[in-house]
Amino acid sequence: MDKLDVLIVGGGITGLASAWWLARSGMSVEVWEADKRTGGKIMSNRQDGYLTERAASMVLNFRPEVVEMVREAGLESAKTGRLPAAEARRYLLHQNCLRALPMRMGAMMTSPLWSMRGKLRLLAEPFIFSSGRADESVSEFITRRLGREVLEKAIEPFVAGTLAADPDQTCAAAALPRLTALERRYGSLAAGVLVNRVLRRRTACTTDTFSFHGGMGALVENLARTPGINVRTGYSVDELVRERDGWRVTATTPHGQQTLSARQVIVTTPASVAAALIDRVDNELAELLRGIGYAAVNVVHAGMARDAVGHPLDGTGFLAPRGASAVLTGNLWMSTLFPDRAPPGKVLLTSYLGGVRAPQVADWDDNRLVDETLRTLRPLVNLKADPEMVRIDRHLEALPVYHGAYQLRMQAIAARLRQIHGLHLEANYRGGVSVRDRLVRGHAVANAILAAHPSVERKSREGSGNSAEVVALQQATS
């Protein structure tokens, strides 16, 4: 039997994206997924007329690779953009009230959210020197460049709410790569944003926030059906063995033990699972992976009548700074964001609890989760009645936390991988946790494999006709 070109271990969004990019270039690809379904944490559910998302709820995109994939995968017609009401505001929990978070400099200068001292400190950003340190935490980086007030009121809620992490421990270069890259290249965030905005106007890719009809599950389901990709569920990989010209992979399957030979292997599982698989291949690499921690997050979806909520819900939702909420990090107003998330006359509010800020939440039972969520929401959005629909999604390992000297760890992992021909590690502990990041990283690992096989016809591999300068800047700031 001929060797398979590429075997992908793990059928989450990273594995499926990598498979899509490879299959469209003519390579033979299989995806082995231990679960009964593909998609990983991404899954959309219908319950009592409400559409909830188990994990990722949208794509915030500015990358041409994602535009290309959505278009060529036939998903353009399935896209659904944000509703007009969701464009209005983003809120922040401040002094026990929801306050509109200004998104532009002019609005920030007039907002009551910021003190005069905080506003003046923000204006001083272009005159702040770079520290030159590669190991700064998010808190150190933001405080140095923008001041303590911006950290506490804007960045800490973002890091806790979207990354489930602690800014005091989180590596700035890993969690805020675009901002740290702007400082490295231009010496100032303000100057970098200005130059970046000018250059981006020359590209065809603009910022776009979207989901899909039927939810984010439509994305992974579509990718899994791509012609040329053999997806096998219930395949739990037990062993990776290096061969002279590739890899021998053995898995426990519904049909007994199966073995396959492949020239290249991409492991897209969580870090602990990847470490166990490659321990015999490279113990040092496995130890680096074992040092990556994860945060637990619980998601509480609440559906209710529109007249049971006194707040206009005229925005995307709100984030909560650590001083304002002990366990709830954020709340998305899903029925305001996208159509068809709630029945007519109803609303859907999705809350996120836990993360590094409140690890104890992982042990709470359903009743306590719901009670705490409603206790927090009731005065903020003027809840007048209990929800008619509740769904809870639990993630013990929701997201990797980019804590400590994370960039050094990633560099060490990359160095070890360069010594192991044909093995690739791609998961959300490398290169970002968002759906956009995972699609782009899938494109990158596919390109690396295709570059090693020049005989394979590479179809639209670069994803954009931009000049080298613009592409380099996009990569540096994404």
Q: Please say whether the dihedral angle defined by the alpha carbons of residues 22, 25, 29 and 35, taken in this order, is positive or negative.
A: positive
Between the alpha carbon of residue 20 and those of residues 233, 341, 411, 442, the distances in Å are 17, 28, 27, 8
Torsion of CA 403, 408, 410, 412, to 10 degrees: -140
Looking at residue 164, its amino acid is: A
Domain ranges of the chain: 4-41+212-292+402-476, 80-86+295-399, 124-200
For residues 355 and 395, give the distance between their C-alpha atoms in angstroms, rounded to a whole number. 10
Determine contact, residues 128/182, Cβ cutoff 8 Å: no
Same fold, 80-86+295-399 and 124-200: no
330, β-bridge pairs: 319, 352
Looking at residue 169, its amino acid is: Q
Between the alpha carbon of residue 27 and those of residues 76, 122, 350, 459, the distances in Å are 25, 51, 40, 11
3-class secondary structure, 384:
coil
Sorted by sequence, the CB contacts under 8 Å of residue 196 that are 6+ apart come out as: 182, 473, 477
- Burial bucket for residue 389 (CB in 10 Å: 0-12, 13-18, 19+): middle
Determine contact, residues 232/31, Cβ cutoff 8 Å: yes
What are the b/e assignments for 278-294, b being 16+ CB within 10 Å?
beebbeebbebbeebbb
pTM of this structure = 0.90
As given in the structure block, the two tokens for residue 114 are 């910021």
**Which residue blocks in 242-314 are alpha helix, DSSP H?**
271-278, 283-290
Q: What per-residue confidence (pLDDT) applies to 58?
A: 96
Question: Residue 389: phi, psi to the nearest 5?
Answer: -135, 130
As a 3-state breakdown, the chain gives helix, strand, coil percent values, each rounded to 5, of 40, 25, 35
Determine the topology of domain 4-41+212-292+402-476 in CATH.
Answer: FAD/NAD(P)-binding domain (3.50.50)
Q: What per-residue confidence (pLDDT) applies to 467?
A: 33
400, β-bridge pairs: 294
Q: Report, as ranges of residue numbers, the positions in the chain whose pLDDT lies below 70.
A: 1-2, 105-106, 132, 194-205, 454-478
CATH of domain 80-86+295-399: 3.90.660.20
CATH of domain 124-200: 1.10.3110.10
Q: Strand pairing of 294-305 and 346-354? A: antiparallel
- Burial bucket for residue 1 (CB in 10 Å: 0-12, 13-18, 19+): exposed
For residues 274 and 294, give the distance between their C-alpha atoms in angstroms, rounded to a whole number. 14
Q: What per-residue confidence (pLDDT) applies to 197?
A: 64
